[in-house]
Structure 1
Amino acid sequence: MDYPYIKKNRAYIVKPVGGKESRGGVSKVQSRAKNEAAAKAAKMHSFCNWAGNQRANPAQIFHPKTVNDLIEIVHKAKAENMKIRCMATGHTWSSSSVVNDDGFLVVVKNMDRIFKPVNVKGDVWHVEIETGVTVKNLDDYLRKHNPPLAMACNVGAECIRYGGILSMGSHGAATHTRSLTDLVDTVKIIDASGTMNTFSKEGDPVEFSAAALNLGLFGIIHTYTLRVEPMFKLQMRDTFPPLHYYFGSPQIGGPRLKAMVLGNDQTQFFYWPFHTFDRTIKHERVWVKEWHRTDLPVTKSHRRVRFQRLIETIKTATNNTFVKAMAKFPQLTPMISPHLCARVTKNADQVLHAPNAIHFWGGMEHIPSMALEMAIKADENFENVVKSWSYVIEQVHEHAQRKEFPLNLMLEMRFLKASQMIMSNMYDEDPDAIFATMELVSAVNTKGFEEFSAKMAQYWMETYRSQPHWAKMWEHVPGIVPYLQQQTGDRYNKFEEIRKKYDPQGMFMNGTFANLLGY
């Protein structure tokens, strides 16, 4: 029985040479890598993430289907003195899922049950889900419920699974809803002894906070219970103001930015490098997306939206040819970028049901990319946000003068209120504090991206005390571990104190977090 390849542009899992087979595996190879490099990697490694920057050789890979399977895996690991790490979709850029011949990899994609939603009171509903549930599957399930329900916020991609989203502290663009993990009411985790533990907000709030965003370090997460609400509509507006309107002067642009963010339910900025044909900052623009809750009638039916997303997915997959060309031939970046930008940017004002508005871009998974994201706490007038964003753009053009193009897809930004999860990069004791999350995105294999992103991260860290998104790239940033320990040592120490109660021997620990937590 072989572990299957997962189709191109997704994480793949293959049977290791001489490796053991697990109960619940899939027998038929679904697809194979089409180029020699991917084929060679498949022979050498039994795990590779979606972006291709993380590879490993676990001693054994499991595809559990039931909670009893999970418990048996823990008992087996304990008996054989093995580590355990879990994988949902493999969309994480950091090495959080990496475990080699000293451990087991547990792939939770078959753990995809959604339990019947419960009306707690008024418009507050709870829905319990297993960690293998995808964003799209939950959206579709809630839409068909009577009454129709929806998540208050969500990530943009529909293909990824909640086990990774919630345990790593991922977020959408909804400012007042905070991170997705802040929507968790209860989490059930099987610890290193094989015992099921239930953590809820009604219990110990600090322990719950650590368990909800636990980075996979408390055990195998079985289910999350999320707060959802009756289906609502969002008015989504797309505009393309000149870059200098918000990012010219910090004293002028900062207050403008703050007023817009506080006036919206959700706000997101995109910047494409070299999207103007004259290749200068002077005429550059930013794509601004704004969302407002509304009672206006929808302007597009769900069926029409799904058809549009299908077309977008096809276009995105086609665009990947040009994206690959930028990575392989960096000097072509200023010529290709304007065409890519023109394909996806246009003014629009429409009213959609919440999931259709939130997942506004189809086929993102078809462009494998590298990404680093840092959260910066906004100052009183958002002037530091303007400065930190502008610095990246200045550096992009400075590198271009040297014929270097390390950032070739986008600079992206969202705004969220502080998270209450102690391991969140947006944690703050002031619940009204607002963080700007800045993300650098380039095509896979883009020359110089790691160096450029590390340089930007160090600037943000030194100047604005920023912290990284755990699911994105961050381990390559020089000095980041001692920096984080210094900035957030008390929180990390508290987290480690709680973690040891459920995994005293470090069964679920891996190199990603061992140094960070002083394990």
Structure 2
Amino acid sequence: MAIQQDTQDQVIVEHLATANTMTTTAQESLIEELKIAAAKSNGLLDSILHPFHHETQPAWTNWAKNQSCDPTEIFNPTNLADLTEIVLKAKANGKKIRCAASGHSWSSTSVTDGYLVVVNKMEKVHRPVWDDELRSWTVMIETGVLVKDLDDVLRENDPPLALPSNVVLDSVRYGGILSLGCHGAATQTRTLPDLVSEVTIIDADGNLNTFTKRNPEEFAAATVNLGLLGVIYTYTLRVEPMFNLHVTDTYPLLSEYFSTPSIGGPKLKAMVLGNDQTEIFYWPFNTPNLGAANDHIWIKQWQRTQVLPVSVSATAESFKKWCQGYQTQFGDHLYEFMAHNPSSAPFVNCLLYKAIGGKDSEEVLKAPDAIHYQAGIDNLPCVDLEMAFKVNEDFSNVVVAWNYVIDQLYEYASRGEFPFNLTLEMRFVKSSTMLMSAAYDIDPEAIYCMIEVLSVNNTPGFNEFSSKMAKFWMDNFQARPHWAKMWEHVPGIVPYLRRQGSERFDRFEAIRKKYDPNGMFMNATFAGVLGH
């Protein structure tokens, strides 16, 4: 099917490419114009929509639609008493329990045929308090609190507060983020669970247990607990006074940082260690001619500043987020077409890169606005494999890991195969003390590269391609999977993990059995990893 661009579709692309340079009045007018353009559009958008296929739906499906299940019963608790009652009911009836929140995990962590506890109504944020022992502000949150809701509470506090690092999405919930070991891009801050000072969990007998660093071994298991010690009730996080971040976005040639390991590695090291946060992206096929020679990358850098004021008004920031949401809705239709027509990937990606990428910029934002820089990600269902590996002294292994993906991208394309079509990205964090963290290390100065490949949902060949990337990273850099992303499809990964990490997994398992001796909270996702 040929792609035809009519006038209305071209209006959308051109306006979205220039929206951030408009005055506030022009931005407000553009919102109305884009709504009209979208309603009238009968070219590109309509040509790539497909008839809706009706079928029986499972009781629960995750956001990416790659995991689903039909639990015996689904619960929506609102308080501690509800959680305790559910656990005691499961014990009496011999049922297993798994939990879910926003469903943004790609792995089968929430899948169960027993009881599914959806914690989205457990959303209380306690008032932040100063902790004299920790010499830090802390805030206690229930397991179902949204990232955005905590941000809002911290902004309104006196004094205003913020997390030093976070995930990009603000539409996900902390129970999943913390229990599965998620991370941001702030190198020195480590992973998000390393900000936890306390966690409370209801065990298999219905008892509420509190874990702190006073018992470091159990705390290291309970923070990234994978939902295996019980139902999480609260986390307490260390936060700090609100701060500004100077954000720069640049789009250099791929070869500037990834020419060779010996040249690119030291350049990457200097950049990463000089920033508060760093994230690097690559759009496949962002230039014509099916070759990487002229391809570009997107480098996003954050640096704390105590002198530069915020450069973007609240109105302009809200408008930018609105535009991003519209862009991703528009992009999703293109990506849907691409998934059904894989050979269109080079054209579609080149088109989108020209429309919204490649323009260097800088701005100063409040920390939450800078960290949650992209709205509308929920509009782009995708598949995602992510792994972590320890960075060597000169960062040369980072260059090798990155270039292998791009080499294979074009190798597959030369055969007319396009299994990787969304983005390659990586972030860097210092090691974690949490036993089940992908970045666990006894060396507190070790830096881990968190590298991931993403494709649009239903892209043919992604599982095979991503497995090949994972195998290369595992064989060469002893890489470990991010539990929240896709990893179970990688051949041989469970025996590999047992060989690599059995000592710390066995330490975790000893603690798990103390609080869940009969496996009420165990599921197939983690059973093999823990030696079952």
- TM-score by shorter chain over 0.5: yes
Aligned-residue offset at 1:36: 4.4
Q: Deviations over 1:151-200 (max 9, x none)?
A: 01000011000010000000010000011000000000000000000001
- Equivalent runs, 1:283-322 vs 2, <5 Å: 283-295=294-306, 296-322=308-334
2:221 alignment partner in structure 1 = 210
Q: Distance in 2 between matches of 1:357 and 1:41?
A: 41
* Alignment of 1:219 onto 2:259: no
Compared CA separation, residues 35 and 514, structure 1 to 2 (3 A): farther
1:245 alignment partner in structure 2 = 256
Deviates more, 1:85-94 or 1:120-129: 120-129
2:8 alignment partner in structure 1 = none
Which of 114, 126, 131 is the aligned partner of 1:115?
126
Aligned-residue offset at 1:342: 2.6
Partner amino acid, structure 2, of 1:471? A
Which of 161, 178, 191 is the aligned partner of 1:179?
191
2:61 alignment partner in structure 1 = 48
Deviates more, 1:55-64 or 1:307-316: 307-316
Aligned-residue offset at 1:35: 6.1
What is the SS of the residue equivalent to 2:439?
Answer: coil
1:77 alignment partner in structure 2 = 90
Q: Deviations over 1:250-276 (max 9, x none)?
A: 101000000100000000000000010
Q: Distance in 2 between matches of 1:504 and 1:336?
A: 52
Aligned-residue offset at 1:301: 2.2
The number of residues matched between the two structures is: 480
Q: Distance in 1 between matches of 2:52 and 2:255?
A: 46
* Alignment of 1:341 onto 2:356: no
Compared CA separation, residues 303 and 200, structure 1 to 2 (3 A): farther
Which of 458, 469, 480 is the aligned partner of 2:482?
469
Partner amino acid, structure 1, of 2:251? F
Aligned-residue offset at 1:123: 6.8
- Equivalent runs, 1:265-414 vs 2, <5 Å: 265-295=276-306, 296-345=308-357, 346-414=359-427
Compared CA separation, residues 393 and 254, structure 1 to 2 (3 A): same
Q: Distance in 2 between matches of 1:435 and 1:515?
A: 25
2:162 alignment partner in structure 1 = 150
Contact 2:164 2:189 in 1 (8 A): yes
Aligned-residue offset at 1:55: 1.1
Structure 1 length-normalised TM: 0.91
Q: Distance in 1 between matches of 2:354 and 2:480?
A: 33
Aligned-residue offset at 1:317: 1.0
2:266 alignment partner in structure 1 = 255
Q: Distance in 2 between matches of 1:211 and 1:198?
A: 9
Listed as ranges, the gaps of 5+ residues in structure 1 are 1-33
Contact 2:290 2:413 in 1 (8 A): no
Contact 1:85 1:97 in 2 (8 A): yes
Partner amino acid, structure 2, of 1:65? T
Contact 1:155 1:171 in 2 (8 A): yes
Q: Distance in 1 between matches of 2:238 and 2:315?
A: 26
Q: Deviations over 1:461-515 (max 9, x none)?
A: 0111000000000000000000000000000000000000000000000010111
Partner amino acid, structure 2, of 1:351? V
* Alignment of 1:478 onto 2:491: yes
Compared CA separation, residues 66 and 334, structure 1 to 2 (3 A): same
What is the SS of the residue equivalent to 1:478?
Answer: coil
What is the SS of the residue equivalent to 1:516?
Answer: coil
Aligned-residue offset at 1:340: 1.6
Q: Deviations over 1:3-39 (max 9, x none)?
A: xxxxxxxxxxxxxxxxxxxxxxxxxxxxxxx9644x4
Q: Distance in 1 between matches of 2:210 and 2:51?
A: 46
Q: Distance in 2 between matches of 1:231 and 1:120?
A: 17
What is the SS of the residue equivalent to 1:518?
Answer: coil
Q: Distance in 2 between matches of 1:343 and 1:133?
A: 35
Q: Distance in 2 between matches of 1:40 and 1:503?
A: 38
Which of 138, 142, 159 is the aligned partner of 2:150?
138
Contact 1:83 1:507 in 2 (8 A): yes
Structure 2 length-normalised TM: 0.89
Q: Distance in 2 between matches of 1:151 and 1:216?
A: 23
Q: Deviations over 1:13-70 (max 9, x none)?
A: xxxxxxxxxxxxxxxxxxxxx9644x4141xx11111111111110000000010000
Partner amino acid, structure 1, of 2:480? Q
Aligned-residue offset at 1:234: 0.2
Partner amino acid, structure 2, of 1:337? N
Q: Distance in 2 between matches of 1:489 and 1:134?
A: 34
